[in-house]
């Protein structure tokens, strides 16, 4: 059985709306939470992260003696394109914005990517990590949207239903690939 332990990066304290590819630092001042998270993760796992600073820094803080893999750009957050760092009410094309959130799938922000494109990108990253490290647990430090793509798959939800899940900063979500090769959910958004 293959397991992926998804960790959402530390908080960024970004003000505003959609934070995707902006390379913001993580606030890792909650050292007790980081120690608890490290203790909750399997000691022999490999650790991979998004290449964005907030995920890299968080992965480095919890990696401990685990093998640290190079950051993977396919684990980046959703690419919000022209909507990056904008408040929702500041996006000029409100009809497109509502379509993007209310019926996620093929609608994309100008210069950005759709939900389906994000899902395909994250699936590629997970497959690469599993193929390179067969039989090993994987700790993947990533972002809200990235983790939701995998929760959606494991729970067999629509994207809209997946959006109802909360994924807190420095939370842990455990997903397992069963004998039938389908993903199953363990804990979702656990705060160690």
Query: Within a domain: residue 190?
Result: no
Length of the chain equals: 192
Query: Would residue 152 count as lying in a domain?
Result: yes
Distance CA 23, CA 6 (A): 20
Q: Per DSSP, what are the bridge partners of residue 48?
A: 140
Distances (CA, A) of 182 to 99, 124, 156: 29, 15, 10
58 in Cβ contact with 141 (< 8 Å): yes
Residue 53 lies in a domain: yes
Give domain status of residue 7, yes or no.
yes
What pLDDT, on a 0 to 100 scale, did the predictor assign at position 13? 85
Q: Please list the pLDDT of the chain residue by residue as tens digits (192 residues).
A: 689 999 999 999 887 688 999 999 999 999 999 999 999 999 999 999 999 999 999 999 999 999 999 999 999 999 999 999 999 999 999 999 999 988 889 999 999 999 999 999 999 999 999 999 999 999 999 999 999 999 999 999 999 999 899 999 999 999 998 778 889 999 999 999
> Which residues, other chains included, contact 176 with Cβ-Cβ below 8 Å and sequence gap of 6+?
1, 2, 3, 4, 183, 184, 185, 186
| DSSP string computed for 151-166 | HHHHHT--HHHHTTS-
Whole-number Å distance between alpha carbons of 144 and 104: 15
pTM above 0.85, yes or no: yes
Tell me, what CATH number does 60's domain have? Answer: 3.40.50.1240
Two structure tokens written together for 129: 């990590």
pLDDT value for 177: 85
Cite the active site residues.
9, 77
> Which residues face 67 on adjacent strands?
46
The verdict on residue 191 lying in a domain is: no
Intra-chain end-to-end CA distance of the chain, in Å: 23
The count of structural domains within the chain is 1
Instruction: Domain of residue 164: give its range.
Output: 2-185
């Amino acid at each position: 059985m293959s397991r992926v332990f998804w960790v959402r990066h530390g908080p960024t304290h970004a003000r505003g709306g959609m934070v995707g590819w902006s390379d913001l630092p993580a606030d890792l001042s909650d050292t007790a939470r980081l120690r608890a998270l490290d203790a909750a993760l399997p000691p022999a796992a490999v650790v991979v992260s998004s290449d964005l600073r907030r995920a890299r820094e968080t992965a480095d803080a919890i990696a401990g003696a685990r093998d640290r893999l190079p950051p993977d750009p396919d684990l980046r957050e959703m690419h919000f394109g022209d909507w990056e760092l904008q408040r929702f009410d500041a996006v000029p094309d409100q009809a497109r914005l509502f379509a993007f959130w209310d019926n996620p799938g093929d609608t994309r922000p100008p210069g950005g990517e759709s939900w389906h494109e994000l899902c395909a990108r994250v699936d590629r990253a997970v497959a690469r990590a599993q193929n390179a490290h067969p039989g090993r647990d994987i700790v993947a430090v990533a972002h809200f949207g990235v983790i939701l793509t995998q929760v959606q798959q494991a729970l067999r939800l629509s994207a809209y239903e997946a959006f109802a899940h909360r994924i807190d900063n420095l939370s842990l979500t455990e997903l397992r690939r069963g004998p039938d090769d389908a993903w199953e959910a363990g804990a979702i958004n656990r705060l160690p």
